[in-house]
Amino acid sequence: MIVILKQNHDPKQLDELRAWLEEQNVAIQANYGVHSTVLGLIGDTAAIDSDLIEALDIVETVKRVSEPYKKANRKFHPENSVIPVGVTTVGGLDFAVMAGPCSVENREQLCEVAHAVKAGGATILRGGAFKPRTSPYAFQGMRESGIDLLLEAKKQTGLPIVTEIMDISHLDAFADVDCIQVGARNMQNFELLKELGHCNTPILLKRGLSSTIQEWLMSAEYIMAGGNENVILCERGIRTFETATRNTLDLSAVPVIKELSHLPIIIDPSHATGISRYVKPLAIAAAAIGADGIMTEVHNNPAKAMCDGPQSLTPAQFAEMMREIQAIVAVRR
Amino acid sequence: MIVILKQNHDPKQLDELRAWLEEQNVAIQANYGVHSTVLGLIGDTAAIDSDLIEALDIVETVKRVSEPYKKANRKFHPENSVIPVGVTTVGGLDFAVMAGPCSVENREQLCEVAHAVKAGGATILRGGAFKPRTSPYAFQGMRESGIDLLLEAKKQTGLPIVTEIMDISHLDAFADVDCIQVGARNMQNFELLKELGHCNTPILLKRGLSSTIQEWLMSAEYIMAGGNENVILCERGIRTFETATRNTLDLSAVPVIKELSHLPIIIDPSHATGISRYVKPLAIAAAAIGADGIMTEVHNNPAKAMCDGPQSLTPAQFAEMMREIQAIVAVRR
Amino acid sequence: MIVILKQNHDPKQLDELRAWLEEQNVAIQANYGVHSTVLGLIGDTAAIDSDLIEALDIVETVKRVSEPYKKANRKFHPENSVIPVGVTTVGGLDFAVMAGPCSVENREQLCEVAHAVKAGGATILRGGAFKPRTSPYAFQGMRESGIDLLLEAKKQTGLPIVTEIMDISHLDAFADVDCIQVGARNMQNFELLKELGHCNTPILLKRGLSSTIQEWLMSAEYIMAGGNENVILCERGIRTFETATRNTLDLSAVPVIKELSHLPIIIDPSHATGISRYVKPLAIAAAAIGADGIMTEVHNNPAKAMCDGPQSLTPAQFAEMMREIQAIVAVRR
Amino acid sequence: MIVILKQNHDPKQLDELRAWLEEQNVAIQANYGVHSTVLGLIGDTAAIDSDLIEALDIVETVKRVSEPYKKANRKFHPENSVIPVGVTTVGGLDFAVMAGPCSVENREQLCEVAHAVKAGGATILRGGAFKPRTSPYAFQGMRESGIDLLLEAKKQTGLPIVTEIMDISHLDAFADVDCIQVGARNMQNFELLKELGHCNTPILLKRGLSSTIQEWLMSAEYIMAGGNENVILCERGIRTFETATRNTLDLSAVPVIKELSHLPIIIDPSHATGISRYVKPLAIAAAAIGADGIMTEVHNNPAKAMCDGPQSLTPAQFAEMMREIQAIVAVRR
């Protein structure tokens, strides 16, 4: 970390800053120039909050020369991480496709969709059991019994399953789940992240609606610091002023993440746009830009499940999208 | 809720929508005009997700005529709510002032600040025991023992205390806390909100960095739906493109909340700006616009606590700010 | 346009609204329901400002059932528009590639880059003569003489040229330019747009940093309403909170625009990211999602032009990118 | 300007950077540390684009130690600027109040409002003659004849007038206007700003919807660099994700601008919120935080002018607001 001091800084305040930095076990190497005084901080600066230093009166600016994340950092792990998810992987040569219904509703619905997405080319079955809902009066998901149905669908189809956790206290119910999803609203639920760092299940970490890429990697670091290095990142749109789509999908995050981190990154075009007819073009763009996979919602019976799925594809639409994605993947690999 | 259909909608899809709505126990009153077909939905529509209906192919637009929040809604509770917090209140005639250190560090620091803010005019002592930190390597707070120190400072000064909870599993440690804070990052941690709805302690609910005012009120509704109607809202800045301040304080939220809800709203200028010299002008503006109080950080020893507080005021600055606020409050009341 | 009134609206205010609407030559068809009163406005509502009506006390909500843009609207022009730009076109079967230096600096630089981008597969030469600069002290471009050099490079290479206009008073200098660019900062310079509506040259209309897709189409409508229907849209990143890239490229705008409008849309990944190593992946994604082309910066001599081009590609990088784009285009067409 | 180089930078690239900087007439003072190499750039760095340098491969970060604006900078002009506007001033001890109709519609309307706002305490009459409208089909204002009416209202009331310019070519019509407004959409219309720098009339420069405070000051610098130092800044809301108000008023801009610049700053709560009932509280907050004035819309006949003014106050509301503002101003001065 490099700290540039203001030109006419108060030497007493500098002494205080030096004393404080030394308490943090950070060595200081100072450059006194005519034009500037620059402190190079040497040692483990990951725990130092650069914002706090930057806000000091005597400090002009602060710049990290090492990122605050270590285990998620490509510098220390140049090879791409390949994350095992049941019988398949995410981050390797194959393009991962997580597909399934928004919510698990009943055995018939789930199994029908599960068979359909497998036939279409999905590699992992998704489905919501615990559902984060903006309204306390809305359906909150089938919860534990939803996970039981997912496990049954897994048995029938052989597809590994991914489903969202909302609170540490539910962790036992996820014992046989192949990949645990942390939703966008919980991306900075640090107590949950810490706890998930102590389990062995791969974690799918969605980006928060207004989280920077660095904050997202720091949340991955929380999980990895606890020992669980199997983290898959998922971009699902950020909140902007535009209202034509529910969120704005930040596809630039793919090359940025590939540069900064070795972790795989997938794209969720269903939640990013909220509108099914935009899902296919964005999924194709995700494959073209080098994402490691996609996550998408598929429903079986648009008539019955009408309100399940303005952002969901039918099995036929899903299969058609998969054919186009495979053509892109063939060119890009 | 009013649903306007597209002009040439498919009657089969309309039948499906009608069937689905009836399953939700919502009555339908249809207006067939030359120019438009409009469905009025009558009954308890709070559980209906309007986004889902709006995204249907046959629907032009959807408009709630009743807000999705009920207990937080001023329509059903025209009088301002006055929330008791220990020996004081928030939302009544007095201007609430929550002040104290960012983090509880040790007995000496906390008690010194507690006495100083009481002398300056604070009505409630704040202090972080469980600290949400972006980095897993940063100090995570004194946790349970920090709460013990807060209780000791309360004993010494008589000030009620407010401190942040990060996970349901810590709830026992908050048994004697006068007001439990839910931080911006946990505003949509719905499992936490539900659980807090079952306790009797007043809740200070901070607005999420990218949460709309309606989402914020829905999170209040989660707590209130569980039975705990003692909710205080706290605006602390939203995330925008501007970088001159850490966040952008949305003071318009005060008149908007006052119109929509009976709940009190306070302002946190310390976190909104991240820079101590902007705290006073924004706190004064908060008093002028009709907020029910402020929450602000104060540290005792700028030299020692240097990195605790670029956004913190010294006790002298706090006392000066309080004098100016009191002059404004005197004019506005 | 449909206006839904509040349930207990003041009849006097409704009379005033009716009178005002009739003055605007709009017929009113009212539906009086038990649950709602809905006014259908029939006639030319494009000139009616829906925000103004929505803000009236008696109005619950307003919804346009016809978009406020007509000439840019796909409903009235179902076929894709193909815009002629000199000897080539934008919006047809071929993928348009506008490439060249950020600024025209001198004859040697421009001609060298022009030949290089032609060899690499560019179809149109870009280059800035009038430069919008944040600082009044920065180089403002070669202006008229820069356009002369572009015309010379056109003569040498046969490539049509596109360059930015900053003020109506410069229009004469653009007489021989094949496509006139309106920059992001001038997207709502309505007097400029009106004037460009009276010339015959195709217009490349960049999206404003914080403009919605609807506002962008309304700006295209300004040009088209004047008689010039040759408008090409260019998405170049919107302003968000993320700082890893200079702006956030909104690729979802491609399918949204393709649905709403018949106008072609191209992508500028250079300005969107500000970083040359992210240009190629985003350009490939643009080709995959169905954009009609790209605009990208290329410099010839990275050593000399060092500060010209952190977001510019070298000719070799450009040629490599073009090979990958052509592979994608071959699959997608 | 300070440039920190990456630790293992390529010496050849450094030579190129040095050569380029010297061409820009900037002297370089280098600090070679073990941990960092830091270049201090000495001389007139205002014309150097720091983003361009920062994006170079060998550069870790760049920091301006002098702001890129000079004439607008408080460092070089410690006293507040007081801008004369006809018979009154903005930026001195008095609180400026610019009030009047959104659009000039006819003589009767304008004069009635002008007398009313004068009676209520306005110091300057505002009114739109040239109107920037999102739709080409909407009323574009009375243009030149609107200015004639403003001049007549000035004659009747003695109030100086402020009105918006949309294009340089209209400048002659503004010869007798006391203050020329540059609207938010033209804040970075650099050719317009340059031209206004050559006239003597005070300029009211509105902040762009998505402009940073630094960009705004750079636009003021454009005007001042041309010789016209009479610039008044006006904050009118920035574009965010929140939809409860039309824009989000950034009141923090007041203390930030007061620190960085000597120019006066006023607040426009009418455009910031778009809703008349939020105008008063925000105007009061503006007075409390230390703004130099407000700009607000007032209409005379809510019945006739119904669609003129969801964000406009009636004369009675304006007078009531003025009484409350004066009470605040009395306390704050």
Among C246, C301, C271, C296, smallest CA distance to C105 is for: C301
Q: Do the chains contact at C308 and D274, CB–CB below 8 Å?
A: no
Q: Is the pLDDT of residue C52 over 90?
A: no
Please answer whether residues B35 and C40 qualify as being in contact, where contact means their C-beta atoms are separated by less than 8 angstroms: yes
Among residues 83-142 of chain A, which lie with CB inside 8 Å of chain B? 132-139
> What is the chain A residue with the closest CA to B184?
A188
Q: Directed axis angle between helix C315-332 and helix A315-332, to 10°?
A: 150
Partners of C16 on chain D (C-beta within 8 Å) are 303-304, 306
CA-CA distance, C36 to B138, in Å (whole number)?
56
Q: How far is B17 from chain D (nearest CA, A)?
A: 28
Residue A83 has a pLDDT of 98
Going by pLDDT thresholds of 50, 70 and 90, the confidence category of residue D48 is: confident
- What is the reported pLDDT for D329? 95
Q: How far apart are CA B179 and CA B230, in angstroms?
A: 9
Q: D183 CB contacts (<8 Å, ≥6 apart)?
A: D132, D164, D166, D206
Q: What is the pLDDT of residue D60?
A: 81
Residue of C nearest to B29 (CA): C35
Pairing of strands A231-235, A203-206: parallel
Judged by a CB distance cut-off of 8 A, whether residue A60 touches chain D is yes
The pLDDT of residue D293: 98
Q: Which of C2, C54, C62, C239 to mutate to test the interface with B (most CBs of B within 10 A)?
A: C2
Same fold, D2-63 and D83-332: no
What is the SS3 assignment for C57?
coil
Partners of B288 on chain D (C-beta within 8 Å) are: 284-285, 287-289, 328
Q: What is the pLDDT of residues D212-250, one digit of tens each?
A: 999 999 999 999 999 999 999 999 999 999 999 999 999
Q: Distance between CA D83 and CA B269 in Å, rounded?
A: 31
Which chain D residues touch B241 with a CB distance below 8 Å? 210, 212, 238
Q: Do the Cβ atoms of A285 and C325 come closer than 8 Å?
A: no
DSSP 8-state secondary structure symbol assigned to residue B59? E
**pLDDT for residue B244:** 93
- Asked if the C-beta of B326 comes within 8 angstroms of chain D's C-beta atoms, the answer is no
Nearest CA in chain B to C28: B35
DSSP letter assigned to residue B129: S
- Give the model's pLDDT for residue B47: 76
DSSP, residue by residue, D258-318: HHHBSS-EEE-HHHHH--GGGHHHHHHHHHHHT-SEEEEEB-S-TTTTGGG-TTPBPHHHH
Rounded distance, CA A36 to CA A55, Å? 18
Interchain CB distance below 8 Å, B33 and C29: yes
CB of D245 within 8 Å of a chain B CB? The answer is: yes
Half-sphere exposure of A258 (CA within 13 A, CB side): 14
Q: What pLDDT, in 10s, does the model give residues B214-242?
A: 999 999 999 999 999 999 999 999 999 99
CB C127 within 8 A of CB C146: yes
Backbone φ, ψ for residue B28 (5° rounding): -120, 130
Instruction: Determine the Cα–Cα distance for residues A87 and A90; give it in Å rounded to an integer.
Output: 11
- What mean pLDDT, rounded, does chain C reach? 92
The pLDDT of residue A47 is above 80: no
- What span, in angstroms and rounded, lies between the C-alpha atoms of C101 and C106? 11
Q: Which residue has the tokens 């964005």?
A: A282
Residue corresponding to tokens 């998901």: A141
Q: Is C6 exposed, middle or buried (0-12, 13-18, 19+ CB in 10 A)?
A: middle
D331 touches chain A (CB under 8 A): no
- Band (pLDDT 50/70/90 cuts) for residue A8 is confident
pLDDT digit string (tens) for A165-175?
999 999 999 99
Q: Does the pLDDT value for residue B302 go beyond 90?
A: no
Query: Which residue in C33, C65, C241 is closest to B31 by CB distance?
Result: C33
A55-98 pLDDT, tens digit per residue, is: 777 888 888 877 889 999 999 999 999 999 999 999 998 999 99
d(C-alpha D189, C-alpha C184), whole Å: 10
Spatial separation of the C-alpha atoms in residues C203 and C187, rounded to whole Å:
12
- Cβ pair A277:C284 closer than 8 A: no
Assess contact for A17 and A11: CB atoms under 8 A.
Answer: no
Phi, psi of D231 (to 5 degrees): -115, 130
D65 near A CB under 8 A:
yes
What pLDDT sits at residue D40?
82
Check residues D7 and C107 and name the one with the higher pLDDT. C107
Residues 192-231 of C with CB under 8 A from D: 192-194, 208-210, 215, 218, 221-222, 225-226
Residue with the two structure tokens 């305490």: D121
Please give the share of chain D, as a percent, with pLDDT higher than 70.
Answer: 96
Three-state DSSP at A70 gives coil
Q: For residue C235, what are the CA distances in angstroms to C170, C207, C232?
A: 25, 5, 10
Q: Model pTM?
A: 0.93
Question: What is residue A326's predicted lDDT score, i.e. its pLDDT?
Answer: 96
| Maximum C-alpha span of chain B | 76
How many Cα atoms sit within 13 Å of B253 on the Cβ side? 30
Sign of torsion over alpha carbons A140, A141, A142, A148: negative
Asked if D240 has any chain A CB less than 8 Å from its own CB, the reply is: yes
Cα-based distances in Å from A147 to A95, A156, A177, A187, A302: 25, 14, 8, 22, 23
Are A290 and C273 inside 8 Å of each other by CB?
Answer: no
The encoded tokens of residue B286 equal 């908060």
Residue whose tokens read 């980006």:
A207
CB contact under 8 A, A239 and D239: no
**Could you tell me which CATH class the domain B83-332 is placed in?**
alpha beta
For residue C307, pLDDT beyond 80: no
d(CA A307, CA A312): 10
**Domain residue extents for chain D:** 2-63, 83-332
Q: Which residue of B has its CA nearest to D274?
A: B252
Radius of gyration over alpha carbons of chain B, in Å?
A: 23
Q: Please count the other Cβ atoms lying within 10 Å of the Cβ belonging to residue D87.
A: 11
**Concatenated DSSP letters for C11-50?**
HHHHHHHHHHHHHTT-EEEEEE-SS-EEEEEES--TTS-H
So what's the pLDDT on residue B138?
85
Collapsed DSSP state (helix, strand, coil) of residue A220: helix
- High-pLDDT (> 70) share of chain C, %: 96
What is the rounded CA–CA span in Å between residue D134 and residue D132? 7
What mean pLDDT do residues D6-12 have? 82
pLDDT at D226: 96
Over residues C63-76, the pLDDT tens digits come to 887 788 999 999 99
Specify the 3-state DSSP secondary structure of D231: strand
How does residue B305 score in pLDDT terms, banded at 50, 70 and 90?
Answer: low
pLDDT band for C84, please (50, 70, 90 cuts): very high
* Tens of pLDDT, residues A93-122: 899 999 999 999 999 999 999 999 999 999
- Cα distance between residue A276 and residue A119, in whole Å: 20
Sequence-distant (6+) residues with CB within 8 A of A86 are A124, A154, A159, A160, A161, A178, A179
CB-based contact B266:B92 (threshold 8 Å): no
Query: Which tens digit of pLDDT belongs to each residue from C172-193?
Result: 999 999 999 999 999 999 999 9
Three-class DSSP category at D272:
helix
Q: Say how far apart CA D232 and CA D262 lie, in whole Å.
A: 10
Give just the sign of the alpha carbon dihedral B74, B76, B78, B84: negative
Nearest Cα to D242, choosing from C62, B242, B258, B253?
B253
The answer to whether residues D127 and D100 touch, using CB atoms and an 8 Å cutoff, is: yes
Among candidates C137, C186, C225 on the partner chain, residue whose Cβ is nearest the Cβ of D189: C186
The whole-number pLDDT of residue A325 equals 97
Its ipTM equals 0.91
Per the prediction, chain A carries an average pLDDT of 92
At residue C132, the 3 state secondary structure works out as coil
Mutual angle of helices D279-289 and D253-260, in 10-degree steps:
30
The secondary structure of C217-244, three-state, reads HHHHHHHHHCCCCCEEEEECCECCCCCC
Tokens of D131: 């109107």
Task: Kindly state the tokens that stand for D155.
Answer: 């004659």
Cβ-contact B207, A182 below 8 angstroms:
no
Transcribe B276-326 into DSSP letters.
GGGHHHHHHHHHHHT-SEEEEEB-S-TTTTGGG-TTPBPHHHHHHHHHHHH
Residue B56 pLDDT exceeds 90: no
Class of residue D264 by CB neighbours under 10 A (exposed 0-12, middle 13-18, buried 19+):
buried
Residues linked to residue A255 through DSSP beta bridges, in sequence order: none
C-alpha–C-alpha distance, residues B147 and B113, integer Å: 15
Mean pLDDT, chain B, whole residue set = 92
Question: Using CA atoms, how far apart are residues A172 and D140, in angstroms rounded to an integer?
Answer: 65
Reported as a single tens digit per residue, the pLDDT across D272-301 is 998 889 999 999 999 999 999 999 999 887
Q: How many CB atoms lie within 10 A of CB A176?
A: 12
Show residues of chain A in contact with C243, CB under 8 Å.
212
CATH assignment of D2-63, among 3.40.605.10, 3.30.70.1140, 3.30.70.920, 3.40.640.10: 3.30.70.1140
**Cα A311 off chain centre by:** 20
